[in-house]
Chain A
Amino acid sequence: MGKLSSTLWLILFVLPQQVLANSQFNMRKGVTDISNDVYQLHMTIFIICCVIGVIVFAVMFWALIHHRKSKGAKPAQFHESTKVEILWTAIPFVILIAMAVPATKTLISMEDASKADLTIKITGSQWKWHYEYMGEDVAFYSILSTPQDQISNQVDKTNTYLLEVDKPLVLPINKKVRFLMTSDDVIHSWWVPDFAVKKDANPGFINETWTKINEEGIYRGQCAELCGKDHGFMPVVVEAKSEQAFTDWLQQAKQAKKTAAAADAALLDQTLPKEELMVLGEQVYMASCAACHQPTGMGLPGVFPALKGNPVVLGDINDHIDVVINGRPGTAMQAFVKQLSIKQLAAVVTYKRNAWGNDTGDVIQPSQIQAAIDATSEAK
């Protein structure tokens, strides 16, 4: 008897766990205590469902095989049994309670974001993530880095196709990291399967969740809530580093920010040639604008306006700069002052005013952009 039950245990619980763990058929165990708990919960319910399914279908197929008319089966007359009916209402109820207990425990610990060592504010926008290390003065956008020619099948796709970004979120291991989620436009959902963290980023509200990573590594996920045209092109990449490496990285990031600010300040006195601005402008346009306005500048009629022949682009320079840096509230046009440097902004405005037959001949310098930014902040 003992042998039989241990064999059964092996077949029902141990084997499937071995086969299914971390295979491409199943949920990942992940790299946090919570993700392991969730995986165990998932496997437990799955196996309970399988056992119930096998029993019920075995009974049904037994009847289908043995109680066939073609075998001369005569129908029985019974059509109710209070005893049986109470039994098969009560037993599922007990099974449900057995499932609910561990689920409740895991859920309560998942929702306890208190006593965090580090807080990251995550802001979704169409179609990129913004990460801010609260109190550390480090913040950046994280954008899909898969080249367009891979997506349009002109070159071979690499292993991390659609799951790669220009700047990953860097986190320390063995620290409780709290995430604050919000959005600048529509609802997004930040998901890393290896952490079992998925939380919606709602515009105008802040959600809270947390993780504590056990292993160094690179973990990839995606936006999970339909957020418009490029919902499928909005990956999440997290690089988990040792505590020391994380501290070093944070220092470097702060340093890089200071260097960039100094470079911006130096630009204010310079006059950049049109050619340089046009080359940089095209790069910036393809990365930040083309998703909506299209590489051809034609937009999507009825959804996103064309920039070719657009009255704003061909009109007053200051109005054009204002739209680019401050966006248009109530539309999908974002405020790019947060996302691009003054050099990038100058380049992209120059590019738009000279590409696709928009031959204004205008050249915009970083200093003009800075002046517009200053004017906006004064107006506020």
Chain B
Amino acid sequence: MSSVTEQQHNEAGHHDGGHHHPAKGFKRWLYTTNHKDIGSLYLIFSLTMFLIGGAMAMVIRAELFQPGLQLVDPHFFNQMTTVHGLIMVFGAVMPAFTGLANWMVPLMIGAPDMALPRMNNWSFWILPFAFLILLASLFMPGGGPAFGWTFYAPLSTTYSNDNTAFFVFAVHIMGISSIMGAINVIVTIVNMRAPGMTWMKLPLFVWTWLITAFLLIAVMPVLAGAVTMVLTDKYFATSFFDAAGGGDPVMFQHIFWFFGHPEVYIMILPAFGIISTIVPTFSRKRLFGYASMVYATSSIALLSFIVWAHHMFTTGMPVAGELFFMYATMLISVPTGVKVFNWVATMWRGSISFEVPMLFSIAFIVLFTIGGFSGLMLAITPADFQYHDTYFVVAHFHYVLVTGAVFSIMAGAYYWLPKWTGNMFNITLAKWHFWLSLVSVNVLFFPMHFVGLAGMPRRIPDYALQFADFNAIISIGGFAFGLSQLLFVVVVYKCARGGDKVPAKVWDGAEGLEWEVASPAPYHTFETPPEIK
């Protein structure tokens, strides 16, 4: 009887216009359809994965600290590089952006929640299982995936270990989660903007996420196709990627990178949105070239579909193909340059102050641009023959993904954390986090350019003696960067627990609807849409 009464009570509460308070304990998080709860879940999950993936990077750097094999055997080393990559891409960066979208998109467009709240719950809650499956395979006989996060066939098919199916299903689940998240973002932005919020009034973070969501829907199914073909090649004797049965291993790379290149923009376009939000706030000046930012983001997204084979210049393409992909890739630097110029022009003759989110944003602009430059160098096919598959590439993509995507996520977290918790974070600790990260990340990744140019291939557990000095420096930078991130955990934890109360408009130069609701943001916001003038 009592359970019936409780149920009736809950239903009564539900009819009460949705003003009930969240359920208590674990059920709140398991059953939640609230965009803020789900946003927090995504962000906490992403931080956990960032630490797990980071721990694997520590294993890699510890083994590479000195030449010779010291700590792990090469097979386990390959599992570490593979799973580190998979976790950081699919477990850390992408869920962090989805978490930020969940939290901020409804607040920024004046919507009460995401358009599809139940699907929102589902798209988050399948993720932990995907990563449990992936991580569990590390503990099975034969170990986890050891063929690189790019899982080139036939290394991932005929020559992989027996646990490859776990990897395949984990990736499938991650893909389903991403697609559902993307559908939700698109439906929300298209249908739930407050009256008067016309397209060219959308905050840039919303714009960049809208475009990202279209990229996700376009390419995640391609990834699903690739892993499925790997599955059937390995277990059901098909030969999509086996020449002996009429297949082609290079075809795998075309399919993978048709997904993979838009994927790297999926991980950077929302970052552009965050930086375009933060830089105007702390320059106290409107974003320069709003319209050109929108057009630049769109052109980057479109170009991302016609450059995939620049990852494959050494596979033996006809020269016409190499030229096409070289020219198309070089073109991307034009809209990317426009973005950087716009940020600099926004700061120019502003009234700049250096709060923690701004520090991360400035670091982003400089260091992401360095990653952009090495990207341009990699686009030049003849030079790419020397750079390809060396630490120069490792340096390049860590500059765009760590000092790019991850720094933007940190910037966004510090920017909105007071809005989420109602408390200001510990600024001194946060500044320590920033400066330690800034120095160590460059000690970590900058010398990788040098060892790469000097000829050190990537994904090797041991190396020739001429690379020893730089590798020791890189490892020290790596340990320092890894430890510095624990400070971030402390700052977030303390901020969630308490701190100086903040007003609705946390930052004096901030603009946007999210600053018109109280801090902390109430459980339900914008039940009556605001009017945009």
Contacts and interface: CB of A to CB of B under 8 A. Distances in A.
A binds B: yes
Interface of A: 24-28, 34, 37-38, 41-42, 45-46, 49, 52-53, 56-57, 59-60, 63-64, 67-70, 73-80, 84-85, 88-89, 92-93, 96, 99-100, 103-104, 106-108, 110-111, 126, 150-153, 157, 159-163, 181, 185-187, 189, 191, 193, 196-200, 202-205, 207-208, 220-233, 300-303, 330-332
A332 B466 CA distance: 32
A93 B337 CA distance: 10
Contact of A208 (B316, B351, B388): B316
B382 A196 contact: yes
A100 B326 contact: yes
Given A99-B330, A229-B75, A230-B74, A204 B351 contact: no
A330 B288 CA distance: 59
Given A107-B322, A189-B314, A24 B450 contact: yes
B155 interface: yes
B454 A26 contact: yes
Contact of A42 (B67, B344, B383): B383
B83 to A, nearest CB: 14
Nearest to B341: A88
B352 A202 contact: no
Interface stretch (B45-53, B87-95, B128-136, B361-369): B361-369
B311 to A, nearest CB: 12
Interface stretch (B268-276, B370-378, B428-436): B370-378
Interface string B304-322: 0000000000111001001
A67 B122 CA distance: 47
Nearest to B74: A229
A64 B162 CA distance: 56
A69 B284 contact: yes
B283 interface: yes
A176 to B, nearest CB: 18
A90 B365 CA distance: 21
28 contacts: A24-B466, A25-B450, A25-B454, A26-B450, A27-B454, A38-B385, A49-B377, A52-B373, A57-B369, A60-B344, A67-B348, A68-B351, A80-B290, A85-B292, A89-B334, A89-B337, A103-B326, A111-B319, A163-B464, A186-B155, A207-B316, A221-B455, A224-B314, A224-B390, A224-B457, A227-B155, A228-B155, A232-B459
B11 to A, nearest CB: 51
A204 B250 CA distance: 10
B502 interface: no
Interface residues of B, number: 96
A89 B338 contact: yes
B147 interface: yes
Contact of B462 (A85, A106, A185, A232): A232
Interface SS of chain A: helix, strand, loop or mixed?
mixed
Interface in B37-59: none
Most buried by B among A69, A150, A157: A69
A204 to B, nearest CB: 2
B454 A73 contact: no
A50 to B, nearest CB: 8
A108 B347 contact: no
B233 to A, nearest CB: 11
B351 A73 contact: yes
A196 B326 CA distance: 18
Contacts of B286: 77, 79
A24 B340 CA distance: 32
B386 A193 contact: yes
Given A24-B450, A200-B314, A228-B159, A60 B347 contact: yes
A70 B353 contact: yes
Contacts of A202: 243, 249-250, 315-316
Contacts of B459: 226, 231-232
B204 interface: no
Given A26-B450, A63-B349, 5 more contacts: A38-B383, A79-B286, A85-B292, A226-B389, A331-B159
A73 B409 CA distance: 29
A85 B289 contact: yes
Nearest to A193: B455
Interface of B: 67-70, 74-75, 78, 140-143, 146-148, 152, 154-155, 158-159, 161-163, 242-244, 248-250, 283-292, 314-316, 319, 322-323, 326-327, 330-331, 333-334, 337-338, 340-341, 344-353, 362, 365-366, 369-370, 373, 376-377, 380-383, 385-386, 388-390, 450, 453-455, 457-466, 470
A59 B288 CA distance: 15
Contacts of B450: 24-26
Contacts of B161: 302-303
Contacts of A108: 319
Given A75-B283, A196-B386, A45 B365 contact: no
Nearest to B343: A60
A191 to B, nearest CB: 7
Given A75-B351, A302-B140, A107 B323 contact: yes
Given A38-B386, A80-B290, A151 B69 contact: yes
Given A79-B286, A96-B333, A203 B249 contact: yes
Given A161-B67, A161-B465, A225-B389, A92 B344 contact: no
B249 A204 contact: yes
Contacts of A229: 74-75, 78, 146
B287 A199 contact: no
A41 B385 CA distance: 12
Contact of A67 (B163, B333, B352, B386): B352
Contacts of A67: 283, 347-352
A302 B285 contact: no
Contacts of B377: 42, 45-46, 49
Given A193-B455, A330-B158, A49 B373 contact: yes
B323 A104 contact: yes
Contact of B315 (A85, A103, A200, A230): A200
A153 B66 CA distance: 10
Contacts of A106: 382
A68 B465 contact: no
A106 B155 CA distance: 32
Given A67-B347, A79-B289, A302-B162, A56 B369 contact: yes
A326 to B, nearest CB: 15
Given A25-B454, A56-B369, A226-B155, A103 B382 contact: yes
A37 B382 contact: yes
Contact of B381 (A77, A103, A207, A227): A103
